[in-house]
Amino acid sequence: MLQRKLAGRLVSEIGLGCMNLNHAYAKKVDQATATSLLTKAFEAGVTHFDTAALYGFGSNEKMVGEAIKPFRQDIFLASKCGMTGVNGKRTIDGHPATLKATLDTALTSLQTDHIDLYYLHRIDPDVPVEESVGTLGDMVKAGKIGAVGLSEVSAETLRKAHGEYPIAALQTEYSLWTRNAEIAVLDACKDLGVDFVAFSPLARGYLAGGVDPASMGEGDIRKGMPRFQGDNWAANQQLYADFASLAASADITPAQLAMAWVLAQGEHIHALPGTSSEAHLIEDLQASGLQLPPELLVKADELINRQTVKGARYPAGAQADIDTEDFADE
């Protein structure tokens, strides 16, 4: 597994997002399955693991904490605050007291005395980002976290927050079919020396194949996403068929081509796929270090991009909670 620098430390260029274990998708795994998956990832070279207070409304951090216990000191652990589950509902709260309490709970759940990278998961419109970030900076000084990150924010917000306390990393969705980061955030990260973590590099499974909206169970967030619905999905299916043929021409899987494309977009970019399948995990990790012809990546870029993909990234309600830039035609 090749490595890249994240928050001042060398970590695997492909990490593992742990949300899929028990949040946002219909399939949920038990502790034994989660422990086996995370152990397999570590043995395969993954040293970057990512969770959040929101996932499973707190249970994901507990699951991850138990799974990584034997190798906690050998990995880079990231989690998030500012968005949690309160009385069964997702709640965005960036007030200092809430962030401090969320962090203390996370440390207990993760069975650790520090978290290497702690993101503000969403911007609370009722709390200046400087206030939230300043609180996290205090937690760095207290030794509870190693570095501060932001999730799903605009370049303007990143610069504002960075002026209050150094932001080590920014995490947002980025893949062939979601290009919003290319508007301004990727350049802002490069200018400020902020590492970029691309979640959903496989487009929520679309670029890995085998996705069927008709068979998605209750609680699968993709059912509410326009790209997986109706005529949009029919058009996107045809795009995927062409993409799969392109990958086959290079004797790699579509998932590996998609991951390689993300990693090729900059040395400050990390890929953070998520899965509950050990087979998919190993397939994804094999994208590290692939030496692909530049023209293959160009063809992938030309085939799947914001002009060719049909449908909005999020439904209106979810879109309202994020701070990322939009294209003029979205």
pLDDT of 330: 63
Render pLDDT for 189-237 as a digit per residue (tens, 0 to 9): 999 999 999 999 999 999 999 999 999 998 999 999 999 999 999 999 9
pLDDT of 41 higher than 70: yes
Report pLDDT digits (tens) over 55-98.
Answer: 999 999 999 999 999 999 999 999 999 999 999 899 999 999 99
Q: Nearest to residue 244, comparing CAs of 206, 276, 187, 218?
A: 206
Q: Tell me what the mean pLDDT of segment 90-114 comes to.
A: 98
Q: What is the mean pLDDT of residues 12-37?
A: 96
In percent, the amount of the chain with pLDDT more than 90 equals 95
| 231, burial (CB in 10 Å: exposed 0-12, middle 13-18, buried 19+) | exposed
Q: Give me the sign of the Cα torsion angle 106, 107, 108, 111.
A: positive
Q: Is residue 168 classed as helix, strand or coil in its secondary structure?
A: strand
pLDDT > 90? residue 329: no
pLDDT at 317: 85
How far apart are the C-alpha atoms of 298 and 211, rounded to whole Å? 25
Residue 301 CA to residue 278 CA, distance in Å, equals: 28
Confidence at residue 167, expressed as pLDDT on a 0 to 100 scale = 98
Give the burial string for 10-28 (b: 16+ CB within 10 Å, else e): ebbbbbbbbbbbbbbbeeb
Is 279 contained in some domain? Answer: yes
Rg over alpha carbons for the chain, rounded to the nearest Å, is 19
How confident is the model over 258-277, as a mean pLDDT? 97
In a domain, 228, yes or no: no
Asked if pLDDT for residue 244 goes beyond 70, the answer is yes
The pLDDT of 172-178, averaged and rounded, is: 98
Residue 239 counted as domain residue: no
Say if 222 falls within a structural domain: no
Check residue 137 and give its pLDDT.
Answer: 98
What is the DSSP code string of 171-240? EEE-BTTB-GGGTTHHHHHHHHT-EEEEE-TTTTTGGGS---GGG--TT-GGGGSGGGSHHHHHHHHHHH
* Domain encompassing residue 99: 3-211+253-290
Under 8 Å between Cβ of 119 and 151: yes
Q: What is the pLDDT of residues 252-265, one digit of tens each?
A: 999 999 999 999 99
pLDDT at 328: 73
* Orientation angle between helical segments 129-141 and 155-164, nearest 10 degrees: 50
**Which amino acid, 142?**
A
Residue 165: active-site member: no
- Any idea what the CATH number is for the domain that residue 131 is in? 3.20.20.100
Cβ atoms 46, 270 nearer than 8 A? no
pTM (predicted TM-score): 0.97
- What's the pLDDT at 80? 98
The answer to whether residue 98 is domain-embedded is yes
What's the mean pLDDT in 45-52?
A: 98
Of 55, 165, 206, 240, the active-site residue reads 55
**What pLDDT sits at residue 75?**
98
Number of domains within the chain = 1
What confidence score (pLDDT) does residue 319 get?
87
Q: Provide the 3-class DSSP secondary structure of residue 105.
A: helix
Identify whether 85 is part of a domain.
yes
